[in-house]
């Protein structure tokens, strides 16, 4: 077991990891390349992509590792956002109190989800997550004195440079990705995977299934809530769209297209979030819904032909196959 | 609130409930009998509503002409959806692919028609006013029509499953694929046809919904959840129970609308989670018939 630790640190130094680390450097330098206002848009895009990486990693813990297929992950994101906004606007508290409140609230809902998952599995668990998400969304829409209904809450905060948000988002994405990779190789991660692969076998071998499912959903809920608070503090507004099923679908799409259950999955998949901004930028806001159309089509195509996502594409082998297909054959 | 008003409320609740029963029937059949998870179900209801709208308002078709076109179209949509995209038997793959289909349909409709809610029939629907127990019963003709159509379709569908050759073949394939294929039945084609037929019910439900409720690109989510709720109360695959469960949900929904209109959705879906957690086999079904972990 002592050797195992050194082994897996060595495993990290692979060509792919080095390549990605090299590619990240220009992204980190974005604030220095552009001067003045020109840097704002690229920085905003990177912040959104980084926040989706974190959200997708949390969904990856819940569904990719533990196999609890949730379609209501936006709930935790929205809870974090609303907790921060209510604490700041209605109760005039420090944003950190709001952040903590969001984490506690989400942890409570994670516990609830874990309790439900002890009784329901598979499809029935999935539809109960949809129903819970809808309940929370209805509360956000109807509890007007606290949530301001559809208009949402607007936050007034001291002016903070976007550079700080930019680096905070990247740091969060990197930290959570490393945490995921660590979790996947840890003892607890093995328990999660055992539950996903065969719940009855895992139970018969002494894995406390209910405990680990609950732990998994609480971890995912707490981290997702932090992202919600962060984005709300950054955009300065929170409304029921934070809880919409579209957000959940985007999180799922990012993870599945990248590769479910792999640390690199959400990182590769989250590049697709840029597609929407790209279409909005080039074709105009009227064409923005077409981004979702493309997301849907890409999701279907990947599910049919590459169900394990971008991670499973073996570049070396595809390249070799392409070369062999293109070279003239001298048979007969 | 006198007796007449209460009777009116209950009758309207039952009529709405029959519509919910119809909405859930297609999903219940797809999931319970064919083992297909269709999360694009609500999106197809929504698209059916918009096709009705387009047929009547843009192409000037009469409702009686638009319905057969929609029904035939939906049969083939269902058939080819199963034949091309939904071949996998893995439930998670089916959920993801149908969610993708729903995303595509919703965003395309949003792009074409915009987010503005529309309604198919303008004005107040015609009603019957009947003197009853010292008050007046106000019953919408549309509600009665809905009740009749839903009952006829559901009775017709269960008769179809029990009596006709195709219905018996579908049940045979669902029970034992290998044995059915030894008897000279192509199971794939039969499941495709069964999926197509479930889409016919979806189309009829879409027509009946579009006559009464507003059309919105996001309306599908609501009917999908209502469909799940009714199926869960009834027990998956239980068509007759689905109708009764639909009536029950309709009554609860009408009551919730009267006493706490803003919390209507929250009440329904909390009820949903509670029933799902404590009675996962459904209220109208014995414990043996369907296992919990599907």
Render pLDDT for A56-79 as a digit per residue (tens, 0 to 9): 999 999 998 998 889 889 999 999
CA dist., res. A1 & res. B24, Å (int): 54
Q: Which two structure tokens, joined as six digits, stand for B176?
A: 């034992």
Please name the helix (run of DSSP H) or strand (run of DSSP E) that holds residue B153, with its range, or none: helix B141-163
Closest chain B residue to A308, measured at CA? B93
What's the rounded Cα separation, in Å, for the pair A109 and A73? 11
**Which domain, by its residues, includes B146?**
3-278
Q: List the one residue out of B237, B252, B160, B234 whose CA is nearest residue B197.
A: B160
B68: domain CATH number?
1.10.3470
Are the C-beta atoms of B148 and B133 separated by less than 8 Å?
Answer: no
- Report the residue from A252, A291, A300 with minimal CB separation from B101: A300
Tell me the CB-side half-sphere exposure of residue B127, using CA atoms within 13 A: 14
**Contact assignment for B106 to A292 by CB distance below 8 Å:** yes
SS3 B127: strand
Bridge pairing between strands B135-140 and B127-132: antiparallel
Residue B284 lies in a domain: no
Q: Which domains does chain A have, with CATH numbers?
A: 2-326 (1.10.3470)
- For residue B225, give the nearest of A130, A256, A300 by CB distance: A130
Torsion B239-B244-B245-B247 (CA) sign: positive
Question: Does any domain span residue B128?
Answer: yes
Instruction: Provide, as residue numbers in chain B, all residues whose Cβ is less than 8 Å from the Cβ of A122.
Output: 91, 293-294
Q: Do A124 and B294 touch (CB under 8 A)?
A: yes
Residue B293 lies in a domain: no
Task: Evaluate the CA torsion angle B268, B269, B274, B279 in order and state its sign.
Answer: positive
**ipTM (interface pTM):** 0.84
Q: How confident is the model at residue B290 (pLDDT cuts 50, 70, 90)?
A: very low
Residue A31, CB-side half-sphere exposure with 13 Å CA sphere: 13
**Tens of pLDDT along A7-44?**
556 666 777 777 777 888 888 888 787 776 777 888 88
Examine residue B51 and state whether it is found in any structural domain, yes or no.
yes
Strand pairing partners for B131?
A: B136
**What tens-digit pLDDT sequence spans chain A (332 residues)?**
444 444 556 666 777 777 777 888 888 888 787 776 777 888 888 899 999 999 999 999 999 899 888 988 999 999 999 999 999 988 888 889 999 999 999 999 999 999 888 888 778 888 889 888 988 998 898 888 888 888 888 988 888 888 889 999 999 999 999 999 999 889 999 999 999 888 889 989 988 999 999 999 999 999 999 999 999 999 999 988 899 888 898 899 899 988 888 888 898 888 888 888 788 778 877 788 888 888 889 989 988 888 888 887 777 777 788 888 778 776 65
- The 8-class DSSP code of residue A328 comes to P
Mean pLDDT for all residues in chain B: 84
- Tell me which residues of chain B have a C-beta less than 8 Å from any C-beta of chain A: 31, 37, 39, 85, 91-93, 95-97, 99-104, 106-108, 110-111, 221, 225, 228-229, 232, 262-263, 265-266, 269-270, 272-273, 276-278, 280, 292-294
CA–CA separation, A42 and A27 (whole Å): 9
Q: How many domains does chain B have?
A: 1
| Spatial contact of B94 and B37, defined as CB atoms under 8 Å apart | yes
Compute the C-alpha angle B269/B274/B275, nearest 5°.
Answer: 95
Tokens of B255: 């009551």
Q: Specify if B102 maps to a domain.
A: yes
CB contacts < 8 Å between A and B, how many?
A: 119
Mean pLDDT across B247-262 = 86
């Amino acid at each position: 077991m002592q050797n195992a630790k050194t082994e897996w640190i060595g495993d990290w130094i692979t060509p792919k990891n080095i390549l990605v680390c090299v590619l990240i450097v220009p992204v980190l330098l974005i604030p220095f390349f552009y001067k003045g206002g020109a840097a704002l848009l690229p920085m905003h895009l990177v912040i959104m992509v980084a926040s989706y990486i974190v959200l997708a990693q949390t969904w990856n813990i819940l569904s990719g590792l533990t196999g609890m297929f949730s379609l209501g992950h936006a709930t935790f994101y929205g809870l974090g956002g609303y907790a921060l906004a209510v604490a700041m606007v209605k109760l005039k508290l420090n944003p950190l109190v709001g952040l903590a409140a969001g984490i506690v609230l989400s942890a409570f809902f994670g516990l609830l989800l874990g309790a439900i998952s002890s009784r329901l599995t598979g499809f029935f668990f999935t539809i109960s997550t949809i129903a819970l998400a809808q309940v929370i969304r209805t509360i956000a829409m109807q509890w007007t004195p606290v949530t301001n209904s559809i208009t949402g809450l607007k936050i007034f905060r001291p002016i903070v440079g976007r550079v700080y948000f930019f680096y905070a988002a990247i740091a969060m994405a990197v930290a959570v990705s490393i945490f995921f990779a660590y979790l996947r190789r840890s003892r607890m991660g093995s328990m999660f995977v055992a539950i996903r692969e065969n719940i009855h076998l895992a139970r018969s071998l002494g894995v406390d299934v209910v405990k680990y499912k609950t732990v998994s959903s609480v971890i995912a809920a707490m981290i997702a809530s932090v992202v919600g608070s962060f984005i709300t503090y950054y955009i300065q507004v929170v409304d029921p769209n934070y809880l919409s099923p579209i957000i959940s679908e985007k999180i799922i799409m990012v993870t599945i297209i990248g590769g479910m259950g792999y640390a690199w999955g959400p990182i590769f998949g989250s590049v697709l979030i840029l597609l929407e901004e790209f279409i909005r930028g080039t074709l105009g806001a009227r064409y923005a819904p077409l981004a979702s159309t493309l997301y849907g089509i890409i999701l279907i195509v990947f599910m049919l032909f590459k169900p394990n996502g971008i991670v499973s594409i073996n570049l070396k082998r595809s390249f070799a196959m392409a070369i062999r297909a293109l070279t003239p054959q001298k048979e007969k | 609130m006198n007796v007449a008003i209460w009777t009116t409320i209950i009758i309207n609740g039952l009529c709405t409930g029959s519509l919910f029963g119809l909405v859930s029937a297609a999903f219940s059949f797809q999931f319970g009998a064919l083992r297909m998870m269709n999360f694009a179900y609500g999106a197809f209801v929504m698209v059916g509503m918009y096709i009705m709208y387009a047929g009547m308002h843009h192409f000037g078709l009469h409702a009686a002409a638009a319905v057969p076109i929609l029904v035939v179209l939906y049969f083939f949509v269902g058939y080819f959806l199963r034949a091309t995209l939904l071949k996998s038997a893995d439930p998670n793959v089916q959920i993801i692919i149908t969610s993708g289909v729903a995303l595509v349909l919703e965003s395309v409709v949003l792009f074409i028609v915009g987010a503005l809610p529309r309604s198919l029939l303008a004005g107040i629907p015609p009603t019957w006013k009947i003197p009853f127990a010292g008050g007046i019963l106000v019953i919408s003709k549309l509600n009665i029509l809905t009740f009749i159509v839903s009952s006829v379709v559901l009775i017709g569908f269960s008769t179809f499953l029990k009596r006709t050759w195709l219905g018996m073949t579908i049940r045979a394939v669902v029970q034992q694929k290998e044995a059915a294929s030894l008897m000279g039945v192509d199971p794939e084609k039969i499941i495709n046809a069964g999926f197509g037929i479930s889409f016919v019910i979806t189309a009829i439900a879409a027509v009946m919904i579009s006559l009464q409720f507003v059309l919105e690109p996001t309306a599908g989510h609501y009917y999908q959840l209502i469909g799940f709720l009714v199926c869960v109360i009834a027990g998956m695959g239980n068509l007759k129970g689905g109708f009764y469960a639909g009536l029950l949900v309709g009554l609860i929904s009408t009551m919730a609308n009267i006493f706490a209109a803003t919390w209507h959705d929250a009440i329904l879906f909390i009820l949903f989670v509670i029933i799902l957690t404590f009675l996962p086999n459904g209220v109208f079904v014995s414990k043996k018939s369907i296992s919990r972990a599907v």
